[in-house]
Structure 1
Amino acid sequence: MEEEKEAVMVTPGEVLGRSSDVKAGRGAYAAPHNNTVYASLTGFRRTIPPPPDSPDKRPTVEVTGHKAHGPVPQPGSIVIVTKVMARSASADIMCVGSKCVREKFTGIIRQQDVRATEIDKVDMHLSFHPGDIVKALVLSLGDARAYFLSTAKNELGVVSAESIAGATMVPVSWTEMQCPVTGQIEQRKVAKAAS
């Protein structure tokens, strides 16, 4: 298979092929749940033939931007919660691992993705507050407007929050943080600190 001659513009979430036919390269990812390769950024689709001596005969499909792209959201992204509703919380994705993103990415933490147990008892307003810094896992591209995020693991959740008094709160349990100034305790879905 030869490299594609004509540059085809693709956007995040666009299907690039089946995992059985192509390998995901830069700017692309394979979704294991449906064996489909998707674009993870806006740019030009490129298909690279496999090396002649490679046992894997699938070509690699990649997306290259016309300008340098910053990191793209992926598992372990750090997000800032911007709005809390009854069934979900909106968040701006700030960092991917230790790298800050250059573009604006939005995420949604749905009620069913806050924690792994007692999902029906989750109160979004007791889990997150606007301004909280949260470590979340990117589940999928979600819909056209936002990535779907999860905090359903012990190490995921609120990593930093400000109290009503304006102080940085200290975690006291996996569901509570305390203001060091006033001693007031507030409910949160707290991330377990790495030991």
Structure 2
Amino acid sequence: MEEAEMVTPGEMLGRATELKAGKGAYVVQHNKNIYASLTGFRRIQSPPPDSPDQRPTVEVTGHKAHGPVPEPGSVVIARVTKVMARIASADIMCVGPKSVREKFSGIIRQQDVRATEIDKVDMHLSFRPGDIVRAVVLSLGDARAYYLSTAKNELGVVSAESSAGNKET
């Protein structure tokens, strides 16, 4: 077994052609490199023998990485921080029932707000800064944010403030 190496966010962990990105890691698409998104220890997991993808998985564990980490398919609770014409930015506060220990950013793209009539979505009518949303993680995105979706009936805004300042739930 190899010696565990301490890594910090942004540090290169390997190439996506040789490894898969696991928890605490992400792939930058333009250069196919895998980088750490957390401070912790670099670990390589062997693939299960029956897995069609036989690349080992590289992940960051331990240190601050022991809290919950968003991953594709996870349901998250996030606070909307900024709304623009095509995207809304949000800070992820919980992954499943557990609150996160580190700051994770998410982006909800216009096409991921709802399942139908995607072209008619008005981001400013869908979200306001301060809204609390339930969303599912689509992908690890890039170094800056996870891609989130609210395009299911059980997802979307769970708490908001009206333009008059009243709490809406």
TM norm structure 2: 0.73
Equivalent position SS for 1:144: coil
Name the counterpart of 1:71.
68
Letter in 1 for 2:5: A
Matches of 1:14 and 1:136, distance apart in 2: 29
8 Å CA contact retained: 2:39, 2:65 = no
8 Å CA contact retained: 1:41, 1:72 = no
Name the counterpart of 2:30.
none
For 1:47, which of 32, 44, 64 is the aligned residue? 44
1:93-143 deviation line (CA, Å, top 9, x unaligned): 111111111111111111111111111111001111111110011111212
Name the counterpart of 1:124.
123
Name the counterpart of 2:107.
108
Query: Cα RMSD between the aligned structures?
Result: 3.5
Matches of 2:162 and 2:125, distance apart in 1: 13
8 Å CA contact retained: 1:107, 1:146 = yes
Name the counterpart of 1:7.
5
Name the counterpart of 2:137.
138
Sequence identity (%)? 71
Matches of 2:99 and 2:4, distance apart in 1: 33
Structure 1 position 41, deviation (Å) = 3.6
Matches of 2:135 and 2:11, distance apart in 1: 20
8 Å CA contact retained: 2:9, 2:35 = no
Tell me, which stretches of 5 or more residues in structure 1 are unaligned? 30-36, 171-195
2:145 corresponds to 1:158: no
Q: 1:89 to 1:22 in 2, by over 3 A?
A: closer
Q: 1:116 to 1:44 in 2, by over 3 A?
A: same
Matches of 1:107 and 1:26, distance apart in 2: 16
* Structure with max Cα Rg: 1
Q: 1:60 to 1:108 in 2, by over 3 A?
A: closer
Name the counterpart of 1:92.
91
8 Å CA contact retained: 1:13, 1:141 = no
TM norm structure 1: 0.64
Paired residues, number:
159
1:179-194 equivalences under 5 Å are none
Tell me, which stretches of 5 or more residues in structure 2 are unaligned? 27-33
